[in-house]
Structure formats: structure tokens, C-alpha cells
Amino acid sequence: MSKNVLVTGGAGFIAHHVIATIIKNTDWNIVSLDRLDFSGNLNRLHDIMQDFPQADRRRIRVVYHDLKAELNPQIQDALGDINIVLHLAAGSHVDRSIQYPMEFVMDNVVGTVNLLQYARTLKNLERFVYFSTDEVFGPAPDGVSYRERDRYNATNPYSASKAAGEEMCVAFENTYGLPIYITHTMNVFGERQHPEKFIPMVIQKARDGEKVTIHSNADKTQAGSRHYVHALDVADGLMFVLNLDPSKLERDFGGAKCPKFNICGLEEVDNLTLAQMIARAQGKELNYEMVDFHSSRPGHDLRYAMSGDYLKSLGWEPKIKLSERINDMVQWSLSNTRWLRK
């Protein structure tokens, strides 16, 4: 049976891959709710729609709205009867959050509450999914990979605002009975990512022979590391989560609801190794400099790490190795250079 899905931030980087995955694998109708700022680009949706016939393209509608404002009756009428809400819209730039913390409170906390309030009015709501981040857990010591229920330790206004959004989701499920899931993702990459992000930036600099800055520890012997994951794997993990039997999922300590899922990459890689991988995919030698970025800049952490064991125990993990994903993205980017331009 067809469903109606609301995707907030639908013209954003991760969300447009989610939309493409839904169109490819279901008969669902999609409403993309977006304010179309610097991170929202309708060209992303235009590009992915070229891969689908006209009948599928008609399954997507775009509605303009800034979630800092309540969803008024006119917006609600434009959205129609919604069965699933996928809340991906968020301010996500750490540096900007340090400079303008209240902006991130408005986007990621107030915006989330406005959407939750709207969700309470939906008579046929089956699921509300809040997309959060690994950064709510804070920096990870060597050998530690955070699980879904580990304590939070936000180290910058961005991660604090996302953690606050999570807590509002938990509160709305427990108080009002909203059927909510929370996902944590980390260092997502893929086609049509903003060119300032690390992987597209390295692709461009390696192509042009420019020096790449690698953030490191104070003595410049250890590069920062992450579990990178492709946006298509995030979308695939999300579809898996949406099809789970809720009665068989873990509950929080004390019986609270709101199941949580870490959607992360198969392997941890440090940023120097990753940059060298990107350069090799172009037949280039990497020109780089290690720079102590973390000890001198509060809110920027050297290592983040999450465990994907819970989703793996349920039957999901990324199907394609990081090296293959990186090689494919490099080749795609070199053939679609407009997405490398700042």
C-alpha cells in the first residue's frame, strides 16, 4: 500500500539520497519540506530525477517552509495526509554553531519541536524518524565506540542542539505516544556533497595538485579518524529500520521508548589514509600538511566512533566497502566537476 512521506531538508545532501532510494524501492509519494538555504539545493533533486521516468518524478512535491516557524494551516494543507516523517533538516556546521549558537538552538531544537507538534495532529502517522549525529556522544578515546544508549557529552553548540532535539523526541514519544525512532549517523559522504566537506575538498585539491590540510593532534603524529559512511548506505539503513518490527526492539533504561540506531561505516579510517586513498584513485601523489586543529579549537574533536553492532545484530550493515565507495565517488566527481566548485 502506498504511503505519503514527509522529508524535511529534502534538497539537502543526505536527504536527496534518501528520496532517490525511496523512489527506487517503493511506490510512496514524497513531500520535500525545505527552506532552501545554502545547504539546500534543488539541483540535487533535479539531478536524481533524471534517472526516473516521468511517472516517478510526479511522486515528489516540494513545499517551502522554515521550521523555525510553526506549520500553519496553509502549510499543513499543502503537505496533505502524511504517514511517515523523516526529519533530516538541521543546521550542521560546527564552526557556524560556535559563532552563532542561538541560530542552532532555533533550527535544531525549536524547529524539531515545531515539527513534533505538527506530527501530533497527523491521524495516520506510522513513524517519525529523527536524524541525529555521532557528535552527541563527544570525542571517543582510542578503543571506544559508542553504542546507542551511551551517555551524551556534547562538545559544541551543534552537537548540544542535536542532543536536545533527541531529548524532545523521547519526551514526545513518552508524553504523547508519538511513534519515534532516532538514528545516529557520522561523516556521511557521497555525490553532490557540499564542496567544502572533507572528501570533495580532497578530490578537488588532489586533482589540482594543491596542498591538503590534515587535522591532527598537537605533535602532528596522529590524524583525526572517523567511520565514514556513504549517503546511499545511510538511506539503505533507514529503509531497513523502517521495516523493523517495533515490538522486538530495545527500549531505553527504565522502560522509556524511542528506539535508537547507529548507522555507520564498516571501518574506521584516519583522514590522512583517506586522503591518500582519494589521491591514488586519481593516480596522484598527495601533497599534504599535518596541522594541529583540535587542541587549539574548542568544539572540534580528534576522534569520533560509534558501534554499528546493534543494527548488525538485527540484520543490517553496509554492503559495499569504503574503498569501493571512495573510488566510485572520485570517478563520479571528476565527471561531474560542477559539484566540486565552491
Residues with catalytic roles: 134-135, 158
Can you read off the three cell numbers belonging to residue 275? 586522503
- Dist. CA 249–CA 331, nearest whole Å: 39
> Which among 152, 221, 223 is positioned nearest to 184, based on CA atoms?
152
The gap from C-alpha 290 to its chain's centroid, in whole angstroms, comes to 27
In order, the DSSP letters of 104-119 are: HHIIIIIHHHHHHHHH
For cell 521516468, name the residue: 53
Q: Cell 564498516, residue?
A: 266
Distance CA 113, CA 338 (A): 36
How far, in Å, CA of 328 to CA of 233, rounded? 14
Q: Single out the residue of 86, 147, 96 nearest to residue 309, CA to CA.
A: 147
- How far is residue 116 from each of residues 121, 131, 168, 205, measured CA to CA in Å? 9, 13, 9, 42
Cell of 221: 603524529
Q: Select from 196, 180, 206 the least CA-distant residue to 126.
A: 180
| 152 secondary structure, DSSP code | P
Number of H helices, E strands in the chain: 13, 13
Identity of the amino acid at 183: T
